[in-house]
Amino acid sequence: MTYTLGFGGVNVIHRGSAVVADDADLVGLAEIAELARVSRTVVSNWRARDERFPAPIAELRAGPVFARDAVRRYLRRRNRHMAHVISTINLKGGVGKTTTTVGLAEMLSAEFGKKVLVIDLDPQTNATTVLIGEDRWRDLNAQKHTLVTLFTDALRPDGESAKFDLDAALQRKVSPVSEVRTVDLLPSSLDLIDVQDRLASMPSGRFYSNNPTDLLRRAVRPILGNYDFVLVDCPPNLGIVTLNGLRISDGYIIPTIPDVLSTYGIPQIQARVKAFADNLGETIHEIGIIVTKYRAASTVHRTTIDRLLNDEELPPVFETVIPEGNAIAASAEFASTSTLRQKYQYQGGYEVFRDLAKEFIDAVEEAA
Would you tell me which residues interact with ligand ADP (CB under 6 A)? 93-99, 126, 292-293, 322, 324-325, 328-329, 332
Give DSSP secondary structure letters for 193-227. HHHHHHHHTPPTTSTTTT-TTSHHHHHHHHHHTT-
Name the minimum Å distance from CB 100 to ligand ADP.
Answer: 7
**Residue 293 near Mg ion by CB under 5 A:** no
Which residues lie below 8 Å from residue 14, measured CB to CB, with a gap of 6+? 1, 2, 3
Shortest spacing between CB 96 and Mg ion, in angstroms = 8
Task: Tell whether residue 98 is a contact of Mg ion (CB under 5 A).
Answer: yes
Rounded to the nearest whole angstrom, what is the least distance from the CB of residue 131 to Mg ion in the complex? 12
213 binds, among ligand ADP, Mg ion, none (CB under 5 to 8 A by kind): none
- Distance between start and end Cα atoms, the chain: 35
C-beta closer to Mg ion: residue 122 or 250:
122
DSSP-assigned beta bridge partners for residue 317: 289
Least Å from the CB of residue 315 to Mg ion: 20
- Name the H helices within the chain: 29-36, 40-49, 68-77, 97-110, 126-142, 147-155, 166-169, 192-200, 215-224, 240-247, 260-263, 266-280, 299-310, 326-330, 340-343, 349-367
Pick the closer one to Mg ion by CB: 236 or 281: 236
Least distance from C-beta 236 to ligand ADP, angstroms? 7
> Pick from 73, 84, 97, 145: which binds Mg ion (CB under 5 A)?
97
Q: Which does 75 bind (CB under 5 to 8 A by kind): Mg ion, ligand ADP, none?
A: none
Of 152 and 188, the one with the shorter C-beta distance to ligand ADP is 188
Pick the binder of Mg ion from 88, 100, 109, 126 (CB under 5 A). 126
The one-letter amino acid code at 237 reads N
Residues whose CB is less than 8 angstroms from the CB of residue 24 and which lie 6 or more positions away in sequence, other chains included: 68, 214, 217, 218
Cα distances from 29 to residues 1, 81, 217, 221, in angstroms, run 29, 17, 21, 17
Indicate the residue among 73 and 97 with the shorter CB distance to Mg ion.
Answer: 97
Residue 99 binding: pick among Mg ion, ligand ADP, none (C-beta 5-8 Å cut-off by kind): ligand ADP
Pairing of strands 84-88, 251-256: parallel
Number of H helices, E strands in the chain: 16, 11
Residue 137 or 208 with smaller CB distance to ligand ADP: 137
Range 63-92, binding Mg ion (CB under 5 A): none
Q: Choose between 9 and 98: whose C-beta lies nearer to Mg ion.
A: 98
Q: Give every CB contact of residue 257 below 8 A, 6+ residues apart in sequence.
A: 94, 95, 96, 291, 292, 293, 294, 301
Which of 328/340 has CB closer to ligand ADP? 328
Q: Give the separation between CA 66 and CA 267, rounded to whole angstroms.
A: 34
Nearer to ligand ADP (CB atom), residue 99 or residue 146:
99
Minimum CB separation of residue 101 from Mg ion in Å reads 8
Q: What is the smallest separation between the CB atom of 97 and Mg ion, expressed in angstroms?
A: 5
Q: How far is the CB of 17 from ligand ADP (least distance, A)?
A: 51
Q: Given the rule CB under 5 A, which residues bind Mg ion? A: 97-98, 122, 126
